[in-house]
Amino acid sequence: MFKKVLIANRGEIALRIIRACRELGLKTVAIYSEADKESLHLRYANECYCVGPAQPEQSYLNIEKIIQTAKNFGCEAIHPGYGFLAQISSFAKACESSEIEFIGPSSGALKKTGSKIGAREIVASVGVPVIPGSTEAVEDEDAVMEVAEKVGYPVLIKAVYGGGGRGMRIANSKSDIRQAMELARLEADFAFGNSKVYVEKLLVKPRHIEFQLLADKKGNIVHLGERDCSIQRRYQKLIEETPSPIMTDELRRTMAEVAIRAAKVVNYTNAGTVEFLVNKEKDFFFLEMNTRLQVEHLITEMVTGVDIVKEQIKIAAGEELAYKQDDLLVRGHAINCRINCEDPCNDFVPCPGTVTRYHAPGGYGIRVDSALYTGYAIPVFYDSLIAKLAAWGVDRSEAIQRMKNALDEYEIAGIETTIPFHKKIINDECFKRGEVDTSFVQERIGDLLAPETIESEKAAALSAVLVAYLTKNKKGLAVIPQRTTRRTSTWRIGRR
């Protein structure tokens, strides 16, 4: 086992990894940018080092600086978390060349799965069903048109490299192709430094299902069940749950077997997910491999009792998995809400700022992964994810009720957050019945963002205040206060 690990990340995921290392008796080195000098994870690491300015390319993406820092502090391994360098094969290769263990898959596996086209071709060779589409990058509109005419509209133009829902645009007809292709290329180049795109048939209203895998260096591989990630906005996940409401024992066995087959063909090791789209007929198709720890890993931990981060570290250290597939049981149901510092009433624009009050929810079956605290100033330079709130119950209905209570208890003042939006979804009747797909948020966004109905008691109280105000101002003349120039969110009713 290692003695010291460097965490090449920030915020809540860095804190999560530090806690896992402490449980294993390992010392930790935290890196940070100049913008993150007040980050909570720095308080719990054994040693800390600033790796550069706020801009990610000069700090958290600076491979040479991070490797050198690991050497200077005597670190035997680096955990990349998720995002930043987690899926960059050149970073894993740099670790390998420096004889530092990369806590994740090999650089070879990352290279094979880094290209979505390459990954599709590899998994298809062992019988994994893939979505119909192009077998290579498309260079112009004619190439897109040729594929679209073959598979049928609508089609999805997607970045060859990268993920997280970026570099993806829909073309519903021939006339949409030029703009969709230009936008997909621009976003792909900005986000991933590569503008190559390819084309897939767009599946209408599918479920997004991913299988969590663990694979050691001895060739053993197991799955920890599935997660349903269908609640999304612009291909960004908002809520995940496990097990999936649509899953049957037979479908789970089949999809898990296919997921393991896909992982084996690329010689995958460590933690990762194989992701699928599932249509209404429950036919499933390979989407991609996420070759890292997932944001939503905590709900799988809650239903299986397996600490995925600790398993990652053990696998990287050469340890064999301590259990077989039959040893792994799923108990109960768990739901995860990704809390972002965004304004749901203003097109989800990021709202970083200073947290003036912070109170996390608690109770049986509740887990919060966050690095927030009262007085913390959220930097403007990074992702808007600020917390992961998970609820476990003996069944789905209990998990939903606990999530409702937790969202009601969660207090984050000083900034706008997506907590009110999550409340709307959790209370939605379609969600309660498990009737969701990847278009759920898009189709119901108007209802989900509708102003709150004021209960009769509150309405009566407001009327009394208004009458008193008008009486005081010139014998009941309707003197209306001027509106503030700052847009007031309907979410503020009842918030503390």
| Residues with catalytic roles | 292
299 alpha-carbon distance from chain centroid: 12
234 Ramachandran zone, left/alpha/beta (phi>0; psi -120 to 50):
left
Instruction: Give me the amino acid identity at 248.
Output: T
3-state secondary structure 38-106: CCHHHHCCCEEEEEECCCHHHCCCCHHHHHHHHHHCCCCEEECCCCCCCCCHHHHHHHHHCCCEECCCC
The CA distance from 421 to 418, in Å, is 5
The CA distance from 184 to 181, in Å, is 5
- Reference 349, options 493, 189, 440, 234; nearest CA is 234
The CA distance from 65 to 84, in Å, is 14
The CA distance from 125 to 138, in Å, is 21
Torsion 353-354-355-357 (CA) sign: negative
For residues 69, 72, 77 and 83, what is the CA-based torsion angle, rounded to 10 degrees? 0
> Which residues 6+ apart lie within 8 Å of 248 measured at CB?
none
The CA distance from 343 to 294, in Å, is 24
Task: Please give the radius of gyration of the chain, using alpha carbons only, rounded to the nearest integer.
Answer: 24
Instruction: Give me the amino acid identity at 318.
Output: G
**Is 395 buried (19+), middle (13-18) or exposed (0-12) by CB count in 10 A?**
exposed
SS3 187: helix
